Structure 1
Amino acid sequence: MSITAVSPDVSLAYECFGDPEDPTVLLVMGFGAQMLAWHEDFCQALADRGRHVIRYDNRDCGLSTRFGEHPVDTDGLVAAVTSGDLPGAQAMVPYRLLDMAGDGLGLLTALGVERAHVVGASMGGMIAQTMALSAPERVLTLTSMMSSTGESAYGNPSPEAQAVLLGGRPADREGYVAAAEKELVWASRRYGDAAVLRELAAESYDRAYYPEGTGRQLGAMILSGSRAQALRGLRVPTLVVHGLDDTLIDPSGGRRTAELVPGAELLLIPDMGHDRPRELWPRLVDALVAHTA
């Protein structure tokens, strides 16, 4: 693991797998999740298929730059948005998805990578879409996984999944790890594994426990608005992947993304929720290798 500056204000923690001479695949993680959520074995499986893989912590997460000087009350943010007080909500949040997309592009620049295949999951898919829209000359292909377009009519969570997402976790290690089991609400119904969720939670807690960043990341998603019109003009080869068991971002989010992007390929995967269970890695790796060929 290394840390490098990607702009005057942001440094990112990252890790590379495989041969730098191979085509680069940049993996962009989602809301509140460290790069650990791209399991190292998954990254290595891609590297073994001839890809130079980079995973990294988004700003305000893991070991990357934190924006603690801008505290955000998540309940207050949601209340402001719900009541229509957009100026108030905007004043709370110091950055948007475009800034987070700039971080990923800045990391590629810092590592001497001119163009890359960009793969984003969940919020990471939103960031990856924004990278392709803002700098299409840098993005060889886009893969938007378990994500959506920013339109309020698509990709909405079930009430149960939303309650878990916004409910937070206990601050003590034992409680934090135990609470990870609640994420089974959006996991694959067939392959969801509480032990796997607890293992990732423990590893994440020990590496860099920082719940304060999630309010700002949530605000960045909410306040960045719809990408629908821009996606209609995107000319980057695009693969959209979505699990049919996903209750956190409904599969309509993936379907809508593929509908908007000209020529996009849509891969709907049975027995996949808002997760990447090990049992489905062969299918996901095959799809990514084919798309990034």
Structure 2
Amino acid sequence: MSAADLDRFVDLPAGPRLCFRVDGADEAVPLLLIAGLGIDLTSWPQRMVDGFTARGFRVVRFDNRDIGRSSRVDAPPPGRLRQLLARPRPGAYDLGDMAADTHGLLDHLGIDRVHLVGMSMGGMIAQTLAARHPDRVASLTSIFSTTGDRRVGQPARSTLLRLAKAPARTVEESVERHVGLLRHIGSPEFAPDDDLERAWALGLWERGGGARARAGVPRQISAIQASGDRTAECGRITAPTLVVHGSADRMVHPTGGRATAAAIPGSRHVEITGMGHHLAPGVVDRLVDLTTDLAQGTGLAPGRTGAPR
């Protein structure tokens, strides 16, 4: 069976068509992975997925709207000037809409309560879902994310210059650009597997439809900008929360993680020395352990019953 054969789809009643995958036993405790800006469900390392299933979780991951094999929004992307000025187009979707997509996927799968794990923009979506639907969230793990407060969590200037480049026009250019960006935002302490990363970047291009699909990335950037400062909303999160960030993150400055932990009552903050903005092989096992430990302290943990409806 090819990887594409594992993809499943749901047409949400009031939203886009989402592509998702499920790993693990049907009766296992549900855990939902939410990917970041411009990356699809395959961005979660298989080692991480396998680690969670081995610990008794049923792992659900999906393509956010405008990426991968999920549907594209029929609206023009914001221009570069709008992005630089943080002025979304009127009517642009925001993180609340993306959290509603996630909520709809849980309904489709019959999951009452779930452990949420989100990275970067996915962490923002997870925070929003946890704040607006506390009854559906058993725990929250927010990885290298931020609150939307523009005084914290900002990319390094060198990172912004790389992100300002025009989208790649060929698969070769896309793959090389990914590897180059990863060398910039990753970390020598937790080195990436270059062969694995090249294969992933190639798969992302093919799953997403090539250059034509990249218009979704500026719309996702616009969603973040349209949501503004979410610090007050994060203060309404009641689920047990773990906030993980790297000390060497050039994409989302470590102040973003510190602000997130400060905003969420009772949260635990773990800053990993030398980690950048990447789920490198050297940190995956620790992230699985940290998230599992968090889940074990809730009423919905591996070995317990009552997870799915």
TM-score range, shorter chain: over 0.9
Given candidates 280, 291, 294, the residue that maps to 1:291 is: 294
User: What is the CA-CA distance between 1:160 and the residue it aligns to?
Assistant: 1.1
Aligned equivalents of 2:166 and 2:121: distance in 1? 17
The aligned residue for residue 304 of structure 2 is none
**For the Cα contact (< 8 Å) 1:17–1:52, is it kept in 2?**
yes
Aligned equivalents of 2:143 and 2:249: distance in 1? 11
**For the Cα contact (< 8 Å) 2:83–2:218, is it kept in 1?**
no
TM-score by length of 1: 0.93
User: What is the CA-CA distance between 1:260 and the residue it aligns to?
Assistant: 1.3
The aligned residue for residue 251 of structure 2 is 248
Q: Secondary structure at the match of 2:36?
A: coil
Of stretches 280-289 and 51-60 in structure 1, the one that deviates more from structure 2 is 280-289
Q: Secondary structure at the match of 1:275?
A: coil
**For the Cα contact (< 8 Å) 2:153–2:255, is it kept in 1?**
yes
TM-score by length of 2: 0.88
Whether 1:115 aligns to 2:113 is: yes
Whether 1:213 aligns to 2:211 is: no
The aligned residue for residue 66 of structure 1 is 72
**For the Cα contact (< 8 Å) 1:189–1:245, is it kept in 2?**
no
Whether 1:227 aligns to 2:226 is: no
User: What is the CA-CA distance between 1:280 and the residue it aligns to?
Assistant: 1.4
The aligned residue for residue 13 of structure 1 is 19
The aligned residue for residue 300 of structure 2 is none
- Structure with the larger RCO, 1 or 2 (CA within 8 Å, 6+ apart): 2
Of stretches 192-201 and 11-20 in structure 1, the one that deviates more from structure 2 is 192-201
Aligned equivalents of 2:68 and 2:142: distance in 1? 22
Query: Structure 1, unaligned stretches of length 5 or more?
Result: none
Whether 1:100 aligns to 2:98 is: yes
Aligned equivalents of 2:67 and 2:133: distance in 1? 24
Q: Secondary structure at the match of 2:228?
A: coil
Q: Deviations over 1:208-231 (max 9, x none)?
A: 232010111000001101111122
The aligned residue for residue 137 of structure 1 is 135
User: What is the CA-CA distance between 1:127 and the residue it aligns to?
Assistant: 0.3
**RMSD value over aligned CA atoms?**
1.5
The aligned residue for residue 190 of structure 2 is 191
Aligned equivalents of 1:3 and 1:287: distance in 2? 30
The aligned residue for residue 265 of structure 2 is 262
* Identical-residue share of aligned pairs (%): 33
**For the Cα contact (< 8 Å) 1:7–1:103, is it kept in 2?**
no
User: What is the CA-CA distance between 1:80 and the residue it aligns to?
Assistant: 4.6
Given candidates 144, 148, 153, the residue that maps to 1:155 is: 153
Q: Deviations over 1:173-224 (max 9, x none)?
A: 1111111122111112222334443222111112223201011100000110
**For the Cα contact (< 8 Å) 1:148–1:254, is it kept in 2?**
yes
Given candidates 44, 54, 58, the residue that maps to 1:52 is: 58
Q: Secondary structure at the match of 2:55?
A: coil
